[in-house]
Structure 1
Amino acid sequence: MILNVHLNNKPTEYGLSRCNVAQIVELTHDEFITLKSRPLDYYDFITDNKDKLQYDNSNIRQCIMFLDGDGDDGILVDPQGYDYARYSAYIPNSRQLCRLGQYPSLDEHNRDMESLVNHYVREVIDSQSEGEVTLSLSDVGDYYQSEYQGFLDHELFQNMMMERPEFDSIEENCGDLFIQNRSLYKIICENSINRKLM
């Protein structure tokens, strides 16, 4: 995973501000790059959105999230009534953060799917026979429905399992996943032999 971040040299602390993303504005890629490289210039897209912010007496900053139209990152701006990025922060993966903020149920679903995949990764590793396992998607769906009270997206589950580094290959056939993790099996065998030799 690659993140675009500003790293501070030997920071003594991180001074954070509580921010409310009151507006989300998608910029063209060129506008975003310009804002990123010259945040103190005056911009029409800040002028057009600054008056929509409603400030109160709380300690929470009212901000505009400017998203890169061709990417995932964003720049959070509290203009304080000005036409430039008076206070700002570069936020990696802002698009996903905004999506999860708008749809909390999506975040819950993501946690459920992560938990489900972790459960079956452990099960596959524990039940392998010479680095191979057959997993019934019907059984996985029944388990998901009983544990998480919902219906399983079989394609998403399969894709998430395929993205796990523990497995060499996964093929679906007639509702079953045929999983090979020969590399892991070889490591387990080598560790077993080494323990016997000690």
Structure 2
Amino acid sequence: MKFKANFTEKPANFQMDDCRIEKVVELSHEDFCRLKITPLADQPFIRENKGCMFHRDGIIHCLLALGQGSNDGVLVDAEKYDYARLAAYIPGMRDIVNAQMDRAADFIIRWGTENTTSGNWCIYFEDLEEHLDLTIQEGSGLDSMLRAALKQRPEVSAVDMHDGCIEVEYHPEYCQQLQEKKAPELLLKDLLPMLKGGGLMFLCHEEAEQSVLVENLCELTDAGQEDHAALLNARVSEICDTPEGTEIVLTGVDPEELVRFNEAHDAFMEAEQSMGPVMG
């Protein structure tokens, strides 16, 4: 079986070091290959980020170098030098970091969508450190990776990071409390008694060319109401005034129900007219 491994000459032990990534640096393909092939050569990105590499409380605070087009990464602690004096090559490091960003995005979205009453919610970097042991700082590279992970989520419409705060704007349909606050559905049959004698009103549907006069619907007998129950149980999505009268827009009903009602009403009127006046 073929395999790739980084062997160390005369290893003292194989104990893993505790480390914390302070900053992510994205290198070009050429620079990343140069780092892998000649890790002891001076590197401009190391010289520019010496303040991000230090030891504290037994933890190595380091840089993570990722290469464009590569899934692997190199952890670097230069110990104040311009080259990778301490380094660890980590296969699949980009996937590891992306998985952590997805985990953080899940946490942010769950917290926000469950608690927001406006569609906006703010979580601070310190919240991520407390709950996920994830350190995010502006300009660290991890912040831009987290922003990209959030922007890919269907729940999120906008993301802004400033002053240690992650401010997220959510689509309302994903916000639990906004859905609970939505007004109950208004059915046509519940509205109909209030429409009698209210002037010229029409029932409309986005997918139907015909409209129904409300006054005709108000004349239905009990048997007629049963026959046209689907129309009466339609949801009212909008009420608007037009020069011709008031339009009541319906949804949740087959548009053919409007056509069927008009045909039935026309047939009834024709039958009534054909009977002529009733003699006393």
- TM-score, normalised relative to structure 2: 0.34
Q: Which has the larger radius of gyration?
A: 2
Greater strand share, 1 or 2?
2
Greater helix share, 1 or 2?
1
